[in-house]
Chains A and B, each alone.
Chain A
């Protein structure tokens, strides 16, 4: 440099520049420092835990969340191997798991979120965490450390468990649980919905809810969505929906709005319950109530019906007592009406016993022909009166049944009565019996009014009457066939009704198990007995009802017996001691001394041991019979007592005494 001044100036410029260079560098360093600080603040502000390591995997940075979750402070942790600070184990096995940051460092790749990892903090606290890690690279792309980001997953885990439980509840619910958006698009569909409506989730989700709404109820859906949009809840809304197979289903709907995290209504959840069974049950209950009401009305009518002729008969007897023919005619009429009332009440009591499971069969080996004869004998007068042609066909070979003769006769009697009532005068009735294998098959066929096909399934239901009797006076409570079915089933059999429809007649077929052959059974036990012959006896009638006592006494006197009457138990004992009756008809419900006590006292006397004492009671249940027997009664008759009943019982008791065996109470 030849020019020293020039050289000096050049140096001056350079040195002046130096100051500016220094300031520029300072500014650059400040900027870098600020960036570093900003980065540190940023990392510290992150809601997740952040740990940075150097290339050896030693900690260089922890943010506050990481400090909290690991229990290590930044000051303590820096320089320590990450595995000391960030201790993680598998949630399932509790074995240490591969540290994601070290793996990121080792493999140079981002290690994604891992599940089922538990972080053990310095104080031993365990927390489920989600974590991910990435290598930190320099400008040349070489790994110079790793950054680990993790978060406490306790809430998420708890939420997942709760959601899983909720999902399981929804999925296992018998009810259909469906969610939909506000535009009616199905968003979820549980198993209950699939069972109820027949569509799989794949078929239903994404479709409109109108998939299951009948066309005539689309307005209803619009109204529901409008209410849901306003935040209202729809509860127990009963409606109809349609299943995939077109079947309409009665359902009860409860619909609630679904809100998003900001509280905005975004859809609706519906719980649908199939109420078809409930509807049927309600319909059945209503029908049963109707039938009961009808029955009560019918019962009142049926009980009132005989009262008018009875009252009339009494008037006739009073007014025409001098005319024996008129009295006899009135008596016959009154007897018929009384018989009708008794039959009604007997049927009611039988049904009551059966429904309360208190009916007991007195089974014995009986001939089917005897059963049928007994039934026919009862019904024949009515058949003949109606002018029906009646044909009975019995098998050549005897069929023996293990049955209660009286009850089974009642079955066929009821069926024949039914045919009589519902067949127009001059019709035909057939009774046919035969053996089919191990069964006795008895069918009663008529040319009557028949039964509509739709009524056949209910024909044996209580209080069921398909149509009006052809004879309005015949009436009935509609319990006859129910009694038939119950009694047949108690015998282990079945009964079936067939009809080709109104006006085409009816066939009732009863099947009862039969014993192998007639010879298998002891003859002595077969048979129904013969009517008792009237002989003069000393009879004491004890009844606190004067009318009952006096009328029974008069009846027995008319039959030629020597009769005394007592109106309470004490009087009965006193009269018995002097009168020494051969038979006492003892009412059980008397004042002073009741029938049981009176009987016991009489039996205690030497003269009283041989007397035949027959209990008379309004109660005929088994327990009543047992009680009267225990008191010392030989027999038990239920009021009102008919003369044949009394004669038959007396005959049985006398026969049993002669044979030295106790009679049935």
Chain B
């Protein structure tokens, strides 16, 4: 048993799938064979990296990690909020136009196919309630109160997570990329606190045992090799992040300019019953880390974090948005391989067996 290491989620889609998605709606059943092939191939290659925990590479999240569950809902419009990235491109959220709020796709549906091919534990990523909360517009929707929306949102999220656990996901990771964005939008931290409150409200529906299989992922947003909040001070986020009532945290760290400073903050705020998976692979950087680099990053982290609470992960998914082809599948798997091997090397050095 080495230091635990897990992926974040997405792997660039297969070229055949991307070609098909370019001309066909992602929900078209005609794509099923391609999804099947993409999932099978992804899992095969994932397992070949030696990663003890795998994902389906989010091959079936044919739009993105954020809106996969609401994409195509009749009571939404495409003119939701815009999320600007550092390279100038914009992603836009759907806007809820009427109630009630329901998911169109639950992530546990992806597990059916993944578990069919997987021989290793499969992890499933879901979007956070706080991210989806931004779908409700400023103006009150007639006949569907904000209050009711929040309650529906929590119910849908809890249903999705619990279904994933019940189907056999070894971990359910809640993507909380908007955490750092919240700090950017509201430096006072109030917005972040609201997001954390909302997520905790949802997490309170789970048992302590269930929460040991649930984690929170935070990163500055990675899309087309740029971020939406990379320039924001991580410290502000981390000071609040560990208030989330969950057992696991996946924190992007590899791309941080001052990792020791971030690690110091983590050391200060990490609670005894929490495990932190630090990002040791920069998912944006096209260069493939060597295992040694990874090893050194782990050993560096171990100086701040008790090794029994330490884990490793990639900074982010390699293709959170389906159409992001800036990173190849091969690179992604090589990076993953480096994470696995590097973590193992570090484990040996740190005496973790």
Contact = CB atoms under 8 A, between A and B. Distances in A.
Interface of A: 1-3, 6-7, 9-25, 28, 138-141
| Residue from A3, A14, A28 with most neighbouring chain B CB atoms (10 Å) | A14
Interface string B147-165: 1011100100000000000
Given A20-B147, A140-B212, A6 B194 contact: no
The 7 closest A-B pairs by CB, nearest first: A139-B208, A139-B207, A18-B194, A20-B150, A20-B147, A20-B146, A21-B198
Nearest to B137: A13
B184 interface: yes
Given A20-B150, A139-B207, A139-B208, 18 more contacts: A1-B185, A2-B84, A3-B82, A13-B136, A14-B182, A14-B186, A14-B194, A16-B136, A17-B146, A18-B190, A18-B194, A21-B198, A23-B150, A24-B151, A139-B211, A140-B207, A140-B208, A140-B209
B46 interface: no
B153 to A, nearest CB: 9
A136 to B, nearest CB: 14
B133 interface: yes
Contacts of A14: 133-134, 182, 185-186, 191, 194-195
Contacts of A21: 133, 150, 194, 197-198, 201
B22 interface: no
Contacts of B133: 13-14, 17, 21
A1 B136 contact: no
B304 interface: no
A1 B81 CA distance: 11
A12 to B, nearest CB: 5
B147 A24 contact: yes
A30 to B, nearest CB: 13
Interface residues of B, number: 33
| Residue from A7, A13, A15, A141 with most neighbouring chain B CB atoms (10 Å) | A13
A448 B212 CA distance: 117
Contact of A15 (B184, B194, B198, B204): B194
B23 interface: no
Contacts of A12: 138
Main secondary structure of the interface of A (DSSP, over half): helix
B81 A10 contact: yes
Given A21-B194, A21-B197, A16 B212 contact: no
16 contacts: A1-B184, A2-B84, A13-B137, A14-B191, A14-B194, A16-B136, A17-B194, A17-B198, A18-B190, A18-B194, A18-B197, A19-B146, A20-B145, A20-B150, A28-B204, A139-B207
Contact of A138 (B154, B185, B208): B208
Contacts of A139: 207-211
B208 A22 contact: no
Interface in B176-214: 182, 184-186, 190-191, 194-195, 197-198, 201, 204, 207-212
A13 B209 contact: no
A24 B150 contact: yes
Given A10-B134, A140-B212, A141-B209, A16 B184 contact: no
Contacts of B145: 20
Contacts of A28: 201, 204
B201 A9 contact: no
A2 B185 CA distance: 12
| Residue from B82, B145, B207 with most neighbouring chain A CB atoms (10 Å) | B82
Contact of A25 (B190, B201, B209): B201
A7 B147 contact: no
A14 to B, nearest CB: 5
| Residue from A7, A21, A141 with most neighbouring chain B CB atoms (10 Å) | A21
Nearest to B196: A21
Contacts of B82: 3, 6
Contact of A22 (B151, B197, B209): B197
B197 A13 contact: no
Contact of A24 (B154, B191, B207): B154
Contacts of A9: 81, 138
A10 B185 contact: yes
Contacts of A15: 190-191, 194
Given A11-B185, A20-B146, A1 B84 contact: yes
Contacts of B211: 139
Contacts of A10: 81, 134, 185
A14 B195 CA distance: 8
Contacts of A17: 133-134, 136, 146, 150, 194, 198
Interface string B64-95: 00000000000000000110100000000000
A557 B81 CA distance: 171
Interface string B106-149: 00000000000000000000000000011011100000011101
B134 A20 contact: no
